[in-house]
């Protein structure tokens, strides 16, 4: 038996508690029964003593003391009824004392005299030298209360009754404990049965069957909450696992395309060597897939580092206006090549806290997209503004725009609105995913608004 199991500990605790309560209750019961019986017996003795005092002792003339014993014996036959009767005179002389009772439950000569001072009536439990006890009631009688009448009875019958009661309660204890323990054990076993089922089901869940769920017993207690919480956890694990599976599949796909191009170009070069006049012309065409490959690998690497939590390593206070202006300046050439004007607007020093190189990456990716997806002679406008305790970075362009149905997906990894459009510009659908991951790590919200054919605007809102 597993003594540290909940089942054992709960059952043992309740069995112990029940035994303690039962024993205390039994002790209290014995005590009360004993007090009640003794009081009752003393009542009877007192009544008898008063009766004797009234009928015999009071009218007694001093000369008739000699016949007292005979009268009491004749009227009450104390020995036959196992009773003790003693009549004592004013000078403490014993006028009458009953003989040995038929059950030999006490020795009359051993009963000590009543204490000298007491008022109307005295009731006492008198211990005898041989260890037994007598319940004795004493009253005064005779003219001027010169006599003391004592009537008593042994406690033996009460003792026998109490012993019987003790036996009965002692026999009841194991019965009650066995019933309670087995009932409690079964109840705890039944209550914990769902835990067994949850555990065995949980053992069977692996990455192959993450769609399965643990059984939920509608008990409305902690067990139901535990099963529901565990199921939510499995759901989150399932999502994360599916996401990472998709990520690996998409990444392999993205890497395969330029690798296939490279391979076929290299095969054709091997089979048809370039003319001796210009050996480098065809080699130049190999650069495009290599560039795309290295850009994809670079972005994958950036994402995996962000996933590992590297965006939060070097947090400092940064002037976002200055960061945006300097980044835009570095990318002016790219825009100029396409004949696009880039303007920048910042309201003085606008501070945010974060990782400078990561935030720069956000600006680069948004600006790079704006330039990429804006045709010649278009315009890109960057703005950094502080309002209502927040800092907002906006990148607006007059480019091709994004269709409404694509807007909710543009921040997903490997999502591209139009693959032909992106292939031409070499994107793998990771730029905005990187922006979103960095923003999340900085507690910033990024949103997009766009009108097809008229342009798009991206807004990053930083908490101050």
Binding site for ligand ADP (CB under 6 A): 369-370, 373, 397, 399-402, 410, 415-418, 421-422, 427-433, 456
* Contact assessment for residue 380 and residue 335, using Cβ atoms and an 8 Å cutoff: yes
Closest CB to ligand ADP among residues 42, 366: 366
Closest CB to ligand ADP among residues 8, 415: 415
Closest CB to ligand ADP among residues 176, 445: 445
Q: How far is the CB of 457 from ligand ADP (least distance, A)?
A: 8
Question: Buried b / exposed e across 204-221, counting CB within 10 Å, b at 16+?
Answer: ebeeeebeebbebeeeee
Pairing of strands 379-387, 341-346: parallel
Give the span between the Cα atoms of 376 and 378, in whole angstroms: 5
Q: How far is the CB of 361 from ligand ADP (least distance, A)?
A: 12
Give the span between the Cα atoms of 373 and 377, in whole angstroms: 12
Give the span between the Cα atoms of 19 and 21, in whole angstroms: 6
Q: How far is the CB of 192 from ligand ADP (least distance, A)?
A: 51
Closest CB to ligand ADP among residues 22, 415: 415
Burial of 352 (0-12, 13-18, 19+ CB in 10 A): buried
- By Cβ distance, which residue is nearest to ligand ADP? 427
Q: How far is the CB of 412 from ligand ADP (least distance, A)?
A: 8
Find where tokens 């204490």 sit.
115
Q: How far is the CB of 370 from ligand ADP (least distance, A)?
A: 5
* Contact assessment for residue 295 and residue 257, using Cβ atoms and an 8 Å cutoff: no
Beta partners for 345?
383
Give the span between the Cα atoms of 355 and 442, in whole angstroms: 8
Q: How far is the CB of 394 from ligand ADP (least distance, A)?
A: 12
Query: Who's near 210: CB < 8 A, 6+ residues apart?
Result: 234, 237, 238, 241
Closest CB to ligand ADP among residues 105, 398: 398
Closest CB to ligand ADP among residues 154, 369: 369
Q: How far is the CB of 282 from ligand ADP (least distance, A)?
A: 27
Closest CB to ligand ADP among residues 71, 457: 457
């Amino acid at each position: 038996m597993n003594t540290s199991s909940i089942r054992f500990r709960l059952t043992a605790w309740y069995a112990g508690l029940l035994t303690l309560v039962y024993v205390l209750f039994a002790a209290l019961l014995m005590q009360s029964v004993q007090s009640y019986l003794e009081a009752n017996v003393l009542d009877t003795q007192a009544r008898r003593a008063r009766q004797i005092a009234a009928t015999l002792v009071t009218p007694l003339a001093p000369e008739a003391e000699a016949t007292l014993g005979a009268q009491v014996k004749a009227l009450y036959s104390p020995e036959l009824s196992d009773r003790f009767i003693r009549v004592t005179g004013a000078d403490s002389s014993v006028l009458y004392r009953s003989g040995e009772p038929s059950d030999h439950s006490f020795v009359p000569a051993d009963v000590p005299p009543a204490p000298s001072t007491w008022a109307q009536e005295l009731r006492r439990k008198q211990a005898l030298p041989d260890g037994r006890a007598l319940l004795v009631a004493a009253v005064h009688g005779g003219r001027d209360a010169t006599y003391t009448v004592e009537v008593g009875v042994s406690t033996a019958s009460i003792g026998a009754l109490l012993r019987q009661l003790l036996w009965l309660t002692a026999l009841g204890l194991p019965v009650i404990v066995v019933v309670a323990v087995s009932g409690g054990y079964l109840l705890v076993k039944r209550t914990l049965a769902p835990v067994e089922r949850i555990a065995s089901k949980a053992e069977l869940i692996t990455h192959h069957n993450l769609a399965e769920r643990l059984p939920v017993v509608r008990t409305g207690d902690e067990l139901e909450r535990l099963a529901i919480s565990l199921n939510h956890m499995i759901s989150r694990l399932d999502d994360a696992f599916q996401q990472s599976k998709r990520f690996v599949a998409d990444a392999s796909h993205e890497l395969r395309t330029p690798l296939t191009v490279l391979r076929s170009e290299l095969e054709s070069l091997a089979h048809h060597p370039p003319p001796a006049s210009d050996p480098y012309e065809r080699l130049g065409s190999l650069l495009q897939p290599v560039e795309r490959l290295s850009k994809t690998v670079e972005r994958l690497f950036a994402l995996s580092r962000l996933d590992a939590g590297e965006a939060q390593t070097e947090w400092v206070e940064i002037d976002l206006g200055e960061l945006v202006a300097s980044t835009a300046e570095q990318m002016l050439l790219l825009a100029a090549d396409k004949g696009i004007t880039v303007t920048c607007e910042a309201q003085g020093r606008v501070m945010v806290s974060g990782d400078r190189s990561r935030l720069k990456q956000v600006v680069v990716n948004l600006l790079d997209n704006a330039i990429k997806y804006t045709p010649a002679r278009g315009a890109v406008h960057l703005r950094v503004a502080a309002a209502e305790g927040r800092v907002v970075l906006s990148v607006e362009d007059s480019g091709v725009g994004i269709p409404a149905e694509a807007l909710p997906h543009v921040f997903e990894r490997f999502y591209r609105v139009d693959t032909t459009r992106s292939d031409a510009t070499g994107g793998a659908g990771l730029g905005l995913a990187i922006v979103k991951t960095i923003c999340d790590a900085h507690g910033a919200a990024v949103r997009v608004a766009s009108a097809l054919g008229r342009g798009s605007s991206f807004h990053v809102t930083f908490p101050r």
